[in-house]
Chain A
Amino acid sequence: MSDLAYGFIALDLMPMLAGVLAALCCGLLGNHLVLRQQSLMGDAISHAVLPGLVLAFLVGGTINPAYMFLGAGASAIVTVVLIQLVRRLGRVEPGAAMGVIFSVLFALGVFLLEQGNARAVDLDASCVLYGNLESLSLHWTPADTWDAFLSKATLEQIPRQIWTLLGMTGASIVFMVLFFKELRISAFDPGISTAQGINASAIQFLLMVFVAAAAVASFEAVGSILVIAMLICPAATARLLTDRMGSQILVSALAALGASVGGYFLSANAPESLVHGGSVNAAGMMAVIGGVLLVLTIIASPRHGIVARAVHRQKLSRRIAMEDLLTTLYRAREAGAPHHASGMPAVARAKSSGLVTAKNGALSLTERGLADASAIIRRHRLWEGYLVDRAGLLPDHVHAVAETLEHLDSPSPNETDAPHGDQHGKPIPPAS
């Protein structure tokens, strides 16, 4: 095994694996929170499990996964119930109820941490936030030849947190595959779901239990910041890129993988000049990359992105400017007056696409330009007739409306829809 490979395996493999598994697990479950518009609930639960964890630790005396899952599960249930209670009794909106409950429970957890004897061990407040990824390599000393590495001894060295995360990720995938249909219907239409016997509240509750368990499994290694980021960012990114639930889930898994692997390498190879005092927190960097991916998608998503919408608007306004130029020239030609217009970008474009020619500064329509202009004028005048004859508008009110409608691609009226012809006595060009 080369030094480079050994260095990676010995130092980076375990922390990176923990980050990837935590990101994957939370990223996948996050889809169902985003679809239910309950991302805040994930935030709430991942904070509110802290007092349960600390209590489990105090009771168990050591970090015992079974106690921790029980404690966190109990806190998750208490959280959901308390949120409902505050909503109903306090008559506040759901967001406010969640905000109150999770901040109070998190504070309670921090208080318990400070008070209890938990202080001496690796349960401390900053570990809860940022995790302890780097420590996963401490007791991991794999063999340096491939033959010796691929043995049972190596397996036995893998830290407990990795096994927990692996189990949790596997369980989440099984849950989401098995209950794909039930999760879909209960999120989309809880009414018909429950009426058919698929109890939407029960499914919702099951989902919350999984989110709480994922938060517990992840928190020790990666901390709650990464949990919250991964519950929201990958799913929200995928939501903007897809329009089917299945593909959304796959894309969110890719986004979670990209954010965790990318974040890890960036933190490991951060330039010295950017790092003040030591190293960059890997979990924090993964969360940042998750956020960056989301921002990039918001900007560049092919259908919903800011750029795509701006380009679409730009194209539309160019087309409208061109159509307005053509109709202006058509009306000028009808009135027998030459039209002088220059400097407008639409004029240059119309000339280069052969719709308009210029002679001594006066613009006129070419044969193709005339055909295009007639079609638009025809739509305009038929819409005016239609608005008066069928919609009962006054003749002097219809021009502005028709000015908008003439640019639409949808079918326009024909002569039978506007039996009285043009409202201002102008001829309606025949259909080409």
Chain B
Amino acid sequence: MNAAPPTTSALAQRPEHSEESPLSVHAMTVAYDRKPVLWDIDYDAPSEALVAIVGPNGAGKSTMIKACLGLIPKASGTVEFWGQAHKRARSRIGYVPQRESVDWDFPVSALDVVCMGRYRKIGWCRPVSRAHKRVALECLERVGMADFAKRQISQLSGGQQQRVFLARALAQESDLYFMDEPFAGVDAATERAIIAVLRDLRAEGKTVIVVHHDLQTVPEYFDHALLLNMRVVAAGPVEHVFTQENLHKTYGGRLTLLSEAAEAIARRDRGG
């Protein structure tokens, strides 16, 4: 071994891998059972931004988030957060998994779930103190769910459950958030509540990376977009990358989706 592997600082010197960037993905490939799901992903997320990851089913959107968080192994590539490995940046990263990924019959209250966002701060083998519960309750208040704190989670509607998940992410007090389809199957009130919280987070200087399904609302809700279909098709500010051509490349010939997107683009052009 004569050539030393590139160190963190060497990567950080490269313009696209700055310590400013909350997330830098470099040459990441992920495979399930030797079948690649993500190929050679390069991506740098801006700070203080709401980023949408869009792409068709099976494009690897959730996989990308999980691989960044170290929940599934990478075949190759590096992921850095502010120029640091995930292990060292862990407490600055929040995560909202898909709502269907957990058992909502689990015997816990909404407040218990939100407290889970504090577990890292509380530390191993220690009980949840009153101060941490108070923070959790404030987070429930921010998503309009304080009245439901004592409810068992199976007694909440789908939208309310999603808001509990969001409150748990807030309780993590992170600087970078990954959210996997927080808008899927929620009511209008919840959608408004979520987007208000996302905008608050951005105003506090945080970055939120959201897997999003509804192409129509991308220009309205997000600053940046990452168009994904096994590879990165395009990434950057929404007004640059959210074009007919890029969407066509991402989605192939799925006409209904494309016409929806065309509408959205037209609306954005009129509005802008």
Q: Which A residues are closer than 8 A to B by beta carbons?
A: 35, 37, 178-182, 184-185, 187-189, 191-198, 239, 242-245, 247-248
A181 touches B107 (CB 8 A): no
State whether A191 touches B128 (Cβ < 8 A). no
- Which residues of B100-119 are within 8 A (CB) of A? 101-103, 106-109, 112-113, 116-117, 119
Contacting pair B107 A245 (CB below 8 A):
yes
**What would be 22 A-B contacts, judged by CB atoms less than 8 Å apart?**
A37-B103, A181-B122, A181-B125, A181-B126, A181-B128, A188-B106, A188-B108, A188-B113, A188-B116, A191-B66, A191-B97, A191-B101, A192-B117, A195-B90, A196-B90, A196-B172, A197-B87, A198-B119, A198-B124, A244-B112, A245-B108, A248-B107
Please determine whether A181 and B119 come into contact, CB atoms closer than 8 angstroms: yes
Asked if residues B127 and A181 are in contact (CB atoms below 8 Å), the reply is yes
In the assembled complex, B69 has its CB within 8 A of some CB on chain A: yes
Smallest CB separation, A248 vs chain B (Å): 5
**A151 and B154 alpha carbons, distance in the complex (Å):** 53
Contact status A179-B116, CB under 8 Å: no
Complex CA gap A244/B120 in Å reads 22
Q: How far is the CA of A174 from the CA of B55 in the complex (A)?
A: 48
Measured CA separation A195–B172 after assembly (Å): 11
* Residues of chain B with a CB closer than 8 A to A239's CB: 107
Judge whether A35 and B106 touch: CB under 8 Å.
yes
Give the chain A neighbours of B70 by CB distance below 8 A. Answer: 194-195
In the complex the two chains form, is A196's CB within 8 Å of B97's CB? no
Number of interface residues of B (CB under 8 A): 32
9 shortest interchain CB distances as A-B pairs? A243-B152, A196-B120, A191-B97, A178-B125, A195-B69, A195-B95, A185-B116, A188-B106, A245-B107
List the A side residues contacting B109 at CB < 8 Å: 244
Question: With A179-B125, A189-B101 as given contacts, are A194 and B71 in contact (CB-CB < 8 Å)?
Answer: yes
Provide the residues of chain A in CB contact with B87, threshold 8 Å: 197
- What residues of chain B lie closer than 8 Å to A194, measured between beta carbons? 69-71
Interface residues of B in 53-68 (CB under 8 A from A): 66
Whether B93 is near chain A, meaning CB under 8 Å from some CB there, is yes
A244 to B124 Cα, complex, angstroms = 21
Residue ID in chain A nearest B168 by CB atoms: A192
Q: How far is the CA of A17 from the CA of B39 in the complex (A)?
A: 61
Q: With A180-B127, A245-B108 in contact, is A191–B71 under 8 Å at CB?
A: yes
Q: What's the nearest-Cβ distance from chain A to residue B138, in Å?
A: 19
Residues in A with CB closer than 8 Å to B116 are 184-185, 188-189, 192-193
Looking at chain A's contact residues, is the secondary structure mostly helix, strand, loop, or mixed? Answer: helix
| Minimal Cβ-Cβ distance residue in B for A239 | B107
Beta-carbon contact of B107 and A244 below 8 Å: yes
Q: Which of A184, A191, A195, A245 has the most CB of B within 10 A?
A: A195
In the complex, how many angstroms separate the beta carbon of A338 from the nearest chain B beta carbon? 46
**A244 partner, pick from B103, B127, B152, beta carbons under 8 A:** B152
Q: Which of the residues A191, A192, A242 comes within 8 Å of B107, measured between beta carbons? A: A242
Give chain B residues whose Cβ lies under 8 Å from the Cβ of A182. 119, 124-125
Q: From residue A41, how far is it (CB to closest CB) to chain B in Å?
A: 16
Complex Cα distance, B64 from A338, in Å, reads 71
Check A185–B119 contact: CB distance below 8 A.
yes
**How many Å lie between the Cα of A360 and that of B120 in the bound state?**
77
Chain A residues lying within 8 Å of B120, measured Cβ to Cβ, are: 196-198
Given contacts A185-B119, A188-B113, A191-B66, contact A197 B108 (CB under 8 A): no
- 13 more A-B residue pairs beyond the given contacts A188-B113, A244-B107, A245-B106, with a C-beta to C-beta distance below 8 A: A178-B125, A181-B122, A181-B125, A181-B126, A185-B116, A192-B97, A193-B119, A194-B71, A195-B90, A195-B93, A196-B119, A244-B112, A247-B107
Given the complex of chains A and B, what is the CA–CA distance between A242 and B105 in angstroms? 11
Chain A residue, CB-CB nearest to B104: A188
**Chain A contacts of B128 at CB under 8 A?**
181
A197 touches B90 (CB 8 A): yes
Q: Which residues of A contact B127 (CB under 8 A)?
A: 180-181
What B residues does A248 contact at CB under 8 A?
107
Q: How far is the CB of A9 from chain B (nearest CB, A)?
A: 39
Partner of A195, one of B71, B112, B122, B126: B71
Complex: A187 Cα to B106 Cα, angstroms: 9
* Min C-beta distance of B166 to chain A, whole Å: 13
Complex alpha-carbon distance, A185 and B101, angstroms:
13
Question: Which of B102, B124, B154, B172 is in CB contact (< 8 Å) with A189?
Answer: B102
- Are A188 and B119 CB-contacts (below 8 A) given A181-B128, A194-B70, A245-B108? no
Q: Mark B86-97, 1 if CB is under 8 A from A, else 0.
A: 010010010101
**Separation of A229 and B71 alpha carbons in the complex (Å):** 34
Residues of chain B lying within 8 A (CB to CB) of residue A243: 107, 152, 154
Q: Which residues of A contact B93 (CB under 8 A)?
A: 195
- Known contacts A189-B116, A191-B97, A184 near B108 by CB under 8 Å: yes
B95 touches which one: A184, A187, A191 (CB < 8 A)? A191
A244 and B116 CA atoms in complex are apart in Å by 15
Contact between B97 and A189, CB atoms less than 8 A apart? yes
Q: Which B124-157 residues have C-beta < 8 A from chain A?
A: 124-128, 152, 154
Which A residues are in CB contact (< 8 Å) with B125? 178-179, 181-182
Cα–Cα, bound, A178→B125 (Å): 5
Interfacial chain A residues near B103, Cβ < 8 Å: 37, 188
Residues of B within 8 A of A187 (CB): 106
Most B-side CB within 10 Å, residue of A184, A191, A245, A248: A191
A195 — which chain B residues lie within 8 A by C-beta? Answer: 69-71, 90, 93, 95
How close is A92's CB to chain B, nearest CB, in angstroms? 15
Q: How long is the Cα–Cα vector from A223 to B222 in the complex, in angstroms?
A: 61
